[in-house]
Amino acid sequence: MKKKVSRLKVPHNKHTAGCASVPVAPPPEVVLPMSMHSGAPAEPVVQVGDYVRVGQLIGKEGGEISSPVYATISGTVSAIEPVKLNTGRTVTAIRIKGDGKMEKDPNIQVPEVHDLDSFLAAVQKSGVVGLGGAAFPVWKKLDAVRTNPVHTVLINGAECEPYITSDHRLMLEHADQIVKGVEYLRTYLKAEEFIIGIENNKPDAIAHLEETFKDDPSVKVMAMESVYPQGARQILLYNATGKVVQPGQRLASLGVIVINVTSLAKMAQYLTDGMPLVDRCVTVDGSAVAKPGNYVAPVGTSVGYMIEQAGGFSEPAGKVLLGGPMMGRTTTTLSEPIVKATGAILAFNQKDSAQMEPTACIHCGRCVENCPIGLNPTAFARDLEIEDEAEKVAALDKHNIKLCMECGCCSYVCPAHRPLVQNNREGLALSKKAARAKKEGGK
């Protein structure tokens, strides 16, 4: 008998679900970090003063797992410089001053795809990563089919984060690209089953895709309970297929691949017209936004410019998030750029963003009870107090810190307002750092 592993009810606040996506006017400049994906940063292939066009390669892959970066507006490279992102990382970025023309690179062409190798090579050149937030290069995810035959593709249209509706709009507006994406994966991955998982708070998207795929028995549109974090790959996998991925196990070893619905559509777009990932739909919402909506903008556009396109602030903002309220991160500057995986910008007024003061843990157990995979955040907090670094990492690993999805459920339900998810992120970073050091030391 299946257990319900995901049961946290959060307010949907899908205010912009009925707002069709609208392209913004070309921004005056974009800032394109060379690290908008998991893995090694891309390496700049342009110089200050170069004129670039939309879709032109400006950053090539920098390692075994990496993703290229393309110019998202036409104009002149004005700087190649370090920028600090809201993750705390400082990365190299290419700044382009736009000319407003949005000229396309004349070298853009539809890739020739005729077998698995050419298909994966094309997906790699597309620059598409996990656009649901993980930002893992899609080509590398699909490459797993070389060693693990894939029979099921789970297309993630859950979009369980409150406020965000950009995936919802894509399912309504670009179902044709989803159809093409399915056909590409069927042809080159030899997948036999496709499940599109969508939370049942999107009945119009469910109905539209059911109609779209009514004549394709290999595609099932699955209406899923609107609970958080339904869109997490482990949760979606279990609720859709009943399968469980073990610690350290890759989903492909189960014969399954999970891909975000917008990632699938952007992949299909590149394979159809040759235009790499240069823009994306971003939900702009929150109590401090004048005209909430879904806006299609070049990657690298500043947060401030996006808010201007949404009518500006309706009242002073107390907090601005990139991403949803559960997993998003606060930005300290409106000049920060949106990146490939930015699905939303949320600006809240002073009242809605007031910070609650943490108090002592009362050992109520709600964080454990509401963790989708049964982790113990209070144990992680205690582990972080250990002074010896090696012992600290060992304790974190013993309590399975690497399984944490950073979904924020623990912090959401904590009556003492403890910074649990922040502790988890710190613990994850320490564990990953130690694992990298051990791997490099063993070479």
Following DSSP, what letter does each residue of 50-64 receive, concatenated? -EE-BT-EEEE--SS
Q: Are 228 and 405 in contact (CB under 8 A)?
A: no
CA distances from 88 to 178, 265, 325 (A): 35, 30, 18
Q: How many domains does the chain have?
A: 3
Residues 241, 126 share a domain = yes
CATH number of 146's domain? 3.40.50.11540
Residues 259, 127 share a domain = yes
Strands 90-98 and 29-33, bridge-based pairing: antiparallel
Residues 120, 269 share a domain = yes
Tens-of-pLDDT digits for all 443 residues of the chain? 455 555 788 999 999 999 999 999 999 999 999 999 989 999 999 999 999 999 999 999 998 899 999 999 999 999 999 999 888 889 999 999 999 999 999 999 999 999 999 999 999 999 999 998 889 999 999 999 999 999 999 999 999 999 999 999 999 999 999 999 999 999 999 999 999 999 999 999 999 999 999 999 999 999 999 999 999 988 999 999 999 888 778 888 999 999 999 999 999 999 999 999 999 999 999 999 999 999 999 999 999 999 999 999 999 999 999 999 999 999 999 999 999 999 999 999 999 998 889 999 999 999 999 999 889 999 999 999 999 999 999 999 999 999 999 999 999 999 999 999 999 999 999 998 998 888 777 65
CATH number of 62's domain? 3.10.20.600
Domain extent at residue 233: 116-273
Residue type (1 letter), 258: V
Domain assignment present for 6: no
pTM: 0.94
Residues 135, 237 share a domain = yes
Q: Quick one: residue 156, left, alpha or beta (phi over 0 = left, psi -120 to 50 = alpha)?
A: beta
Q: Is 70 helix (H, G, I), strand (E, B) or coil?
A: strand
Q: Are 98 and 29 in contact (CB under 8 A)?
A: yes
Domain assignment present for 231: yes
Domain assignment present for 12: no
Residue type (1 letter), 187: T
Residues 318, 225 share a domain = no
Residues 312, 261 share a domain = no
Domain assignment present for 258: yes
Residues 199, 295 share a domain = no
Residues 143, 54 share a domain = no
Domain assignment present for 255: yes
Residues 268, 294 share a domain = no
Domain boundary pick from 288, 315, 349: 349
Nearest to 79 by CA among 107, 58, 61: 58
Residues 74, 41 share a domain = yes
Residues 120, 176 share a domain = yes
CA distance 406 to 402: 10
Domain boundary pick from 349, 375, 394: 349
Residues 233, 186 share a domain = yes
The confidence score (pLDDT) of residue 1 equals: 45
Domain boundary pick from 349, 379, 407: 349
Domain assignment present for 4: no
CA distance 230 to 398: 26
Domain assignment present for 15: no
Domain assignment present for 42: yes
Strand partners, 321: 330, 346
